[in-house]
Amino acid sequence: MSNKVIKVILLGDSAVGKSKLVERFMIDGFREQQQSTFAVNIFPYKAKIDGEDCDVEFWDTAGQERFNNVHPSYYDRAHACIFVFDDRQITYKNLEKWYNELQTYRKGIPSIVICNKIDLNMEATKTTFNFASKRELPLYYASAADGTNVVKAFTDALKLAKKCRDNPEKEFVDDVLELLN
């Protein structure tokens, strides 16, 4: 991976829709799948972010999260993280665990949260989720199935990721707050 490539990772329990979200976002984009030795799917993507042509890689697990066993290389040099949960309470609860995992390997990178599968449960959109609000993380109610908010969430994540790549030592609170407002 070149130093210029923007790396975005997805974290969350098995079957919350991480792969489906990437697939949905990539539909109109350049698409090519590449298997690495760590059983990770890497999706290269060309994006125009804040007016600049950027090479992006979305990193998606190949199911190891089922065994709580995501390889440290997954986190290595990531520029942003997309946390995903769905209508199963346990997947929300486990965000804490994924968050701690991220802090262990890649502390402080900008992150967003996706509450996925709102097509199954519209009620979720009326809920404020503490996990996101107490950390001031942007929260998106989305559906990989019908596409609701997927582009919005990923586009915002890419903006944050680019800032992280360009200013690796910076704290991202201000940029996140800007997105929230």
Residues that bind ligand GDP (CB under 6 A): 14-20, 116-117, 119-120, 143-145
CB nearer to ligand GDP: pick between 111 and 143: 143
Cα–Cα distance between 138 and 20 in angstroms, integer? 20
Dihedral angle of Cα 169, 161, 76, 55, to the nearest 10 degrees: -120
Indicate the residue whose CB is closest to ligand GDP: 17
User: By the 8 A CB rule, do 76 and 106 touch?
Assistant: yes
Residue-level length of the chain: 181
Side chain identity, residue 22: V
* Binding partner selected for residue 117 from ligand GDP, Mg ion, none, CB under the kind-specific 5 to 8 Å limit: ligand GDP
Rounded to a whole number of angstroms, the minimum distance from the CB of residue 107 to ligand GDP is 24
Cα–Cα distance between 17 and 155 in angstroms, integer? 18
CB nearer to Mg ion: pick between 10 and 113: 10
User: By the 8 A CB rule, do 14 and 66 touch?
Assistant: yes
**Which tokens belong to 57?**
């890689």
Stretch that binds Mg ion, among 12-20, 77-85, 132-140, 154-162 (CB under 5 A): 12-20
Rounded to a whole number of angstroms, the minimum distance from the CB of residue 118 to ligand GDP is 7
Report 19-58 residues binding Mg ion (CB under 5 A).
19
Rounded to a whole number of angstroms, the minimum distance from the CB of residue 17 to ligand GDP is 3
Rounded to a whole number of angstroms, the minimum distance from the CB of residue 4 to ligand GDP is 27
Q: Sign of torsion, CA 106 110 116 122?
A: positive
Residues that bind Mg ion (CB under 5 A): 18-19
